[in-house]
Amino acid sequence: MLQELLTAAAAAGSAGVLYFASAARIVKQYERGVVLRLGRLTGEVRQPGFTLIVPVVDRLHKVNMQIVTLPVPAQEGITRDNVTVRVDAVVYFKVVDAANALIRVEDYKFAVSQMAQTSLRSIIGKSDLDDLLSNREKLNQGLELMIDSPAVGWGVQIDRVEIKDVSLPETMKRSMARQAEADRERRARVINADAERQASKVLAEAAREMSETPAALQLRLLQTVVAVAAEKNSTLVLPFPVELLRFLENPQRVAAGHTPERPAAT
């Protein structure tokens, strides 16, 4: 009799151990557990840690709650100003409702990916090329709103959307390069003209100052001569007044025996 009791106790213990082993589940810190009992959602979402389910009857599905980085393949489209571009982006999202992410959509990652591609093509068609190149922050916000609207019902929250790169045709790149070069040249000419205008004002003021003191002009001329003479490879040209040349011409004629004719008396 005792032997039979021991055998029954051992069998019950073994069955209990097997039941406990088949019912025990571990949910990790970054996961949530969703239990389906005979195909129906039951109870609350299981929190991280140790949990038990009913073997054979229950099925525990673990849903990752971490932020998912989803690259969006490059989408080709025509902008509002008729320029063909290829744009790729990246979407950061996370599951906020594990039950809805498991029940309401078959594969929430695939659904978010397809929605992101569709929204990206829509954004390309509604935007100008200048907006894609320089106003990305606004486009990122619009793209995030377009993806987040349907994703809320799936238990998914879009954390952030970023446009990574905008690829342009080679002809458009060359045209933009020529445009940028012409713009830089225009600004250089404007700056040069403004510098000339400012310099002319300063020179005019200096001329007025020198006109009041004639010796200042001579001193300035001598300073210029000294500055030019310091360069060994420079040719120095000195200006002479016309009156000085005429004065030098008259003594040469007198030395040669030519006397200036005097007018006849009347």
User: 157-182 pLDDT, tens per residue?
Assistant: 999 999 888 888 888 778 888 888 89
pTM above 0.75, yes or no: no
What confidence score (pLDDT) does residue 245 get? 63
DSSP 8-state class, residue 233? T
Close Cβ partners of 209 (under 8 Å, ≥ 6 residues apart) = 216
Between 260 and 209, residue with greater pLDDT: 209
Give the residue-averaged pLDDT of 201-211. Answer: 82
What confidence score (pLDDT) does residue 1 get? 66
What confidence score (pLDDT) does residue 188 get? 92
Amino acid at 197: R
Q: Kindly tell me if the per-residue pLDDT of 265 is higher than 60.
A: no
Q: Kindly tell me if the per-residue pLDDT of 57 is higher than 50.
A: yes
What confidence score (pLDDT) does residue 216 get? 75
What confidence score (pLDDT) does residue 227 get? 75
Q: Kindly tell me if the per-residue pLDDT of 91 is higher than 90.
A: yes
Between 227 and 265, residue with greater pLDDT: 227
CA distance linking residue 36 with residue 26, whole number of Å: 16
* 97 SS3 class: coil
Cβ atoms within 10 Å of 91's Cβ, excluding its own: 26
What confidence score (pLDDT) does residue 266 get? 41
Ordered alpha helix ranges (H), 66-135 = 98-103, 108-126, 129-134
Whole-angstrom CA distances from 167 to 84, 86, 138, 191 are 9, 5, 19, 34
Give the residue-averaged pLDDT of 36-56. Answer: 87
What value does the mean pLDDT of the chain take? Answer: 82
CA distance linking residue 51 with residue 216, whole number of Å: 101
Q: Kindly tell me if the per-residue pLDDT of 246 is higher than 60.
A: yes
β-pairing verdict for 68-78 and 49-52: unpaired
* CA-based max dimension of the chain: 181
- The number of C-alpha atoms within 13 Å of 175 and in the hemisphere containing its C-beta is 6
Q: Kindly tell me if the per-residue pLDDT of 249 is higher than 70.
A: no
- The residue with tokens 């020529």 is 178
Residues 96-110 pLDDT 10s: 999 999 998 889 999
